[in-house]
């Protein structure tokens, strides 16, 4: 008995020592992230998770209501958009429940949750331990080993303990540390750092987007655009904070929540990796007028091929093996945007160049410069999975030059309307242009103009110009990028051209009106302008008075002739 006791103690000590010396050196996490966190690659999982989470939860670096927080208040849905800031446990249920009671109660109250959870890997981790190399998901065995290593480093799993399941309490209270939970006090909505307890590599990869998209001249703020800071990009938009119609403003928030949680792609409560590998997982958010990625991809040869053959693909295969072993015949959002230099990760921005929005001031310079060239080379490597390098470079040049042509068209129209604005010639600009709600500013061509309007603020021509950039130029670029010619010309170039024509037409009409007003003003200043001008200050008969007299005499004579003619009848 004593011998067995000391053996167990030895195993515990060894386990603790192993956990303490475990490293979180994930090759898929870029060096820039370790540098930004002031960590060596020899850091433990605990050190990496704590450093990531400290930054993640820092209001100065993206968490919370943002710099305009004083202007807006959360609505009921905000607790689900940003659980870290706004979620509070429900008070209607007073139970203190065990793990088993959670499942039993929710089987009655919300059976869909339980059914999906039971289908998930989380419900029975022993299934993973029993996998053999013949199984397509055998790779998850090593993943589970990493998960347990992470939890031991965090002090949430014993040195010789195995994780049996990930149940309600593990995600909604704390992982593997409690067997009971007070529904009124303990319940929380999981945020990305919660998932990162187990899935540390993926958490670090996604957070690394902050560190790998840095623009040469700050064309975009540091780390944007990205999933890692998409909520910040939303709440720190001035019109989002200023709008009184909060449900309209938060319509955008529905997609801008990848920063806060993981279930936009890994939907609750099955958290299926296979489903997250499909383009449909991206289509909910990456669609619509100003980011028509889903529509462009879906209508392209790539997308149509995917739709026709997707049921023949093996979605259990990892992305890195999808083409060779999984039967993947066409590229997907994930196979292109999650790949970098032949490796796959949750960082989707390491190749970003145009950033979806070509109209951002100064963005063309880095795209065609050294910064953009390095990223273009990375794209070429991606494309050569299926195409020759010569084809890939030719098409990327085609896309860049086509986008640049659209930007030239927009710039010309922009300069015309800008001159009208500076000269205060826009409709109602002098008397019917209410200021937008604070913190939005009454400046030329601002984002608020497509969300807020009052009187002639903005004017029709300003709105047309902004839609030319925000919608049609984007649609042109995105359609070129995803090889969909239909949108490139119909909603892209053709719509831009129509807006350009209408703007130039309005500009010519405005100039004509100004010329006419100037002529009228000159005529009004001259006494010779009035045909009935009988008042001469110097007593002289003017041409105007002569003309007026002749006109009056002729009018009287005509009236008399008409009366005589009538009497003769």
Co-location of 452 and 485 in the same domain: yes
Closest CA to 206 of 258, 272, 249: 258
Inside any domain, residue 376: no
CA distance 331 to 158: 43
Residue 545 has pLDDT above 70, yes or no: no
Q: What is the mean pLDDT of residues 347-367?
A: 97
- CATH number for the domain that contains residue 414: 1.20.850.10
Co-location of 493 and 513 in the same domain: yes
Co-location of 265 and 212 in the same domain: yes
Residue 294 has pLDDT above 80, yes or no: yes
What is the model's pLDDT at position 178?
85
Q: Find the range with the poorest average confidence among 131-140, 177-186, 199-208, 360-369.
A: 177-186
In sequence order, the 6+-apart residues with CB closer than 8 A to the CB of 504 are 413, 416
Q: Which residue has the higher pLDDT, 321 or 560?
A: 321
Q: Which helix (H) or strand (E) holds 182?
A: strand 180-182
Co-location of 520 and 550 in the same domain: no
Co-location of 433 and 472 in the same domain: yes
What is the model's pLDDT at position 93?
86
Co-location of 535 and 512 in the same domain: no
Given 68, 203, 357, 451, which residue is catalytic?
A: 357
Inside any domain, residue 183: no
Q: Is 489 a catalytic residue?
A: yes
Q: Is 256 a catalytic residue?
A: yes
Long-range contacts of 393-398 (CB under 8 A, 24+ apart): 395/483, 398/480
- How do strand 180-182 and strand 96-98 relate by DSSP bridges? antiparallel
Residue 561 has pLDDT above 90, yes or no: no
Q: What is the mean pLDDT of residues 88-108?
A: 93
Which one of 271, 298, 324 terminates a domain?
271
Tell me which residue range forms the domain holding 439. Answer: 389-525
Given 80, 489, 507, 533, which residue is catalytic?
A: 489
Inside any domain, residue 339: no
Closest CA to 554 of 538, 531, 535: 531
Inside any domain, residue 477: yes
State percent of the chain over pLDDT 90. 85
Which band of pLDDT confidence, cut at 50, 70 and 90, is reported for residue 373?
very high
What is the model's pLDDT at position 24?
79
Do the beta carbons of residue 147 and residue 197 sit within 8 Å?
A: no
Which one of 210, 237, 271 terminates a domain?
271
Q: Is 266 a catalytic residue?
A: no
CA distance 493 to 497: 6
What's the pLDDT tens digit per position in 177-231? 888 999 999 999 999 999 999 999 999 999 999 999 999 999 999 999 999 999 9
Residue 391 has pLDDT above 70, yes or no: yes
What is the model's pLDDT at position 5?
46
Residue 262 has pLDDT above 70, yes or no: yes
What's the pLDDT tens digit per position in 510-534? 999 999 999 999 898 885 555 445 4
Specify the length of the chain in residues. Answer: 569
Which band of pLDDT confidence, cut at 50, 70 and 90, is reported for residue 12?
very low
Q: Which residue has the higher pLDDT, 225 or 547?
A: 225
Which band of pLDDT confidence, cut at 50, 70 and 90, is reported for residue 560?
low
What is the model's pLDDT at position 8?
45
What is the model's pLDDT at position 23?
84
What is the model's pLDDT at position 22?
79
Co-location of 407 and 497 in the same domain: yes
Given 256, 266, 472, 482, which residue is catalytic?
A: 256
Residue 540 has pLDDT above 70, yes or no: no
Inside any domain, residue 62: yes
- CATH number for the domain that contains residue 147: 1.10.780.10
Inside any domain, residue 29: yes
Do the beta carbons of residue 401 and residue 200 sit within 8 Å?
A: no
Given 183, 227, 286, 291, which residue is catalytic?
A: 291
Long-range contacts of 215-221 (CB under 8 A, 24+ apart): 215/366, 215/371, 216/365, 216/366, 216/369, 216/371, 217/362, 217/365, 217/366, 219/360, 219/361, 219/362, 219/363, 219/366, 220/355, 220/360
- What's the domain count of the chain? 3
Give how far Cα 435 sits from Cα of 119, 245, 279, 453, Å: 54, 17, 42, 9
What is the model's pLDDT at position 538?
53
In sequence order, the 6+-apart residues with CB closer than 8 A to the CB of 561 are none
Inside any domain, residue 31: yes
What is the model's pLDDT at position 341?
96
Q: Is 395 a catalytic residue?
A: no
Which one of 224, 241, 271 terminates a domain?
271
Q: Which residue has the higher pLDDT, 87 or 568?
A: 87
Residue 470 has pLDDT above 60, yes or no: yes
What is the model's pLDDT at position 11?
43
- For the four alpha carbons of 494, 496, 499 and 501, in that order, the dihedral sign comes to negative
Co-location of 396 and 539 in the same domain: no
Inside any domain, residue 338: no
Residue 469 is classified by DSSP as I
Co-location of 227 and 141 in the same domain: yes
What is the model's pLDDT at position 2?
52
Q: Is 316 a catalytic residue?
A: no
What is the model's pLDDT at position 563?
58
Co-location of 492 and 553 in the same domain: no
What is the model's pLDDT at position 1?
47
Co-location of 52 and 74 in the same domain: yes
**pTM of the entire predicted model:** 0.88
Q: What is the mean pLDDT of residues 430-434?
A: 96
Q: Mean pLDDT in the chain?
A: 91
Co-location of 468 and 555 in the same domain: no
């Amino acid at each position: 008995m004593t011998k067995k006791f000391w053996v167990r103690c030895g195993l515990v000590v060894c386990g603790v020592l192993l956990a303490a010396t475990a490293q979180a050196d994930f090759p898929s996490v870029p060096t820039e992230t370790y540098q930004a966190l002031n960590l060596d690659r020899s850091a433990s999982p605990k050190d990496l998770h704590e450093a990531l989470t400290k930054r993640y939860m820092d209001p100065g670096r993206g968490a919370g209501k943002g710099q305009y927080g004083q202007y807006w208040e959360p609505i009921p849905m905000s607790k689900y958009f940003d659980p870290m800031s706004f979620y509070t446990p429900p008070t209607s249920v007073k139970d203190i429940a065990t793990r088993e009671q959670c499942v039993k109660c929710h089987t009655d109250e919300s059976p869909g949750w339980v059914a999906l959870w039971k289908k998930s890997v989380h419900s029975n981790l022993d299934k993973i331990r029993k996998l053999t190399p013949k199984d397509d998901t055998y790779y998850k065995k090593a993943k589970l080993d990493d998960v347990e290593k992470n939890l031991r480093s965090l002090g949430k799993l014993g040195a010789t303990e195995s994780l049996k399941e990930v149940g309600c309490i593990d995600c909604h209270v704390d992982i593997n540390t409690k067997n009971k939970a007070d529904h009124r006090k303990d319940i929380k909505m999981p945020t990305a750092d919660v998932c990162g307890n187990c899935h540390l590599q993926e958490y670090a990869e996604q957070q690394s987007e902050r560190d790998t998209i840095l623009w040469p001249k700050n064309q975009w703020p540091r780390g944007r655009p990205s999933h890692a800071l998409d909520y910040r990009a939303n709440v720190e938009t001035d019109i989002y904070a200023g709008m009184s119609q909060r449900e309209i403003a938060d319509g955008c928030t529905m997609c801008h929540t990848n920063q806060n949680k993981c279930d936009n792609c890994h939907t609750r409560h099955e958290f299926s990796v296979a489903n997250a590998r499909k383009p449909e997982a991206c289509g909910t958010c990456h669609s619509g007028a100003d980011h028509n990625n889903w529509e462009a991809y879906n209508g392209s040869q790539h997308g149509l091929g995917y739709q026709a053959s997707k049921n023949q693909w093996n979605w259990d295969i990892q992305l890195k093996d999808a083409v060779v072993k999984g039967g993947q015949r066409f590229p997907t959002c994930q196979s292109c945007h999650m790949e970098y230099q032949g490796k796959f990760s949750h960082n989707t921005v390491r190749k970003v160049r145009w950033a979806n929005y070509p109209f951002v001031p100064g963005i063309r310079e880095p795209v065609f410069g050294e910064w953009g060239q390095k990223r273009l080379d990375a794209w070429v490597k991606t494309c050569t999975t299926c195409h020759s390098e010569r084809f890939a470079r030719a098409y990327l040049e085609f896309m860049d030059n086509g986008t640049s042509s659209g930007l030239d068209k927009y710039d010309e129209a922009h300069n015309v309307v800008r001159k009208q604005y500076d000269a205060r010639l826009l409709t109602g600009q002098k008397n019917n242009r209410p200021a937008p709600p604070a913190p939005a500013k009454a400046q030329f061509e601002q984002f608020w103009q497509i969300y807020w309007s009052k009187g002639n603020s903005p004017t029709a021509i300003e709105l047309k110009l902004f839609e030319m950039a925000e919608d049609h130029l984007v649609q042109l670029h995105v359609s070129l990028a995803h090889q969909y010619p239909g949108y490139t010309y119909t909603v892209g170039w053709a719509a831009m051209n129509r807006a350009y024509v209408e703007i130039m037409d309005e500009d010519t009409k405005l100039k004509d009106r100004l010329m006419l007003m100037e002529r009228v003003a000159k005529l009004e200043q001259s006494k010779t302008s009035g045909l009935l001008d009988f008042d001469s200050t110097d007593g002289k008969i003017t041409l105007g008075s002569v003309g007026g007299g002749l006109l009056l005499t002729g009018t009287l004579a005509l009236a008399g002739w008409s009366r005589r003619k009538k009497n003769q009848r």
